[in-house]
Amino acid sequence: MITQPDVATPQAGAPVGLRYALIPVHGYGIAGATVARMLDPEGGGAARLLHPNEPIPYGARPVLLAETTVYGATCVEHMLRTWTTALPRPWLVLVSDAPARPVPAARYRIRALGSRLAGVARVPYLPVLRTVEGADEALENKDVRAAAEKLRRQMEGT
């Protein structure tokens, strides 16, 4: 459960470099690591995956990560049930798990949760993620770089 007392406050005069605090709702994997690098292309610490039960750092925008499956949508729903109004509404980044549209049950559930989210961004199916050893290697692929640019535009509202 995420509560306000868990939010870390910055030290006086310390700059807050973390813009995106990524919370995988159903486990860690290459997709989450790649999304973190997509949101932090220079590798300067603007985005990172949070550890389980780690507090959301002060000033960071919470971002839930999920796959476009019914299970992923259910995990997002469970996470939002415990989300307190003292925290900023999170973004949701949906990573496609197949080269097809999500099934209707997943689409409808995410749509129903929309009012609890700051926004929803989608990352297309990227077959290269099945073949790479890490996120840095994935970003060498032109499709991943294009998806990263689109994701940053969606998240930054430009």
Q: What is the pLDDT of residues 113-127, one digit of tens each?
A: 999 999 999 999 999
Which tokens belong to 61? 């925008």
Is a pLDDT exceeding 70 seen at residue 132?
Answer: yes
Which tokens belong to 92? 């949701």
Per the CB < 8 A criterion, the answer to whether 89 and 56 are in contact is no
d(CA 92, CA 132): 24
Report CA dihedral (132, 138, 143, 144) to the nearest 10 degrees: 130
Q: What is the pLDDT of residues 32-54, one digit of tens each?
A: 999 999 999 888 899 999 998 89
In the chain, what are the domain boundaries? Answer: 24-156
DSSP bridge pairs for 97: none
The enclosing H or E element of 68 equals none
The pTM assigned to this predicted structure is 0.86
Q: Cβ–Cβ contacts within 10 Å for residue 153, how many?
A: 11
Per the CB < 8 A criterion, the answer to whether 79 and 12 are in contact is no
Q: In this structure, what DSSP letter does residue 134 have?
A: S
- DSSP three-state, residue 124: coil
Q: What is the pLDDT of residues 44-89, one digit of tens each?
A: 899 999 998 899 999 999 999 999 999 999 999 999 999 999 999 9
H-only helix segments in the chain: 30-38, 70-81, 104-113, 135-138, 142-156
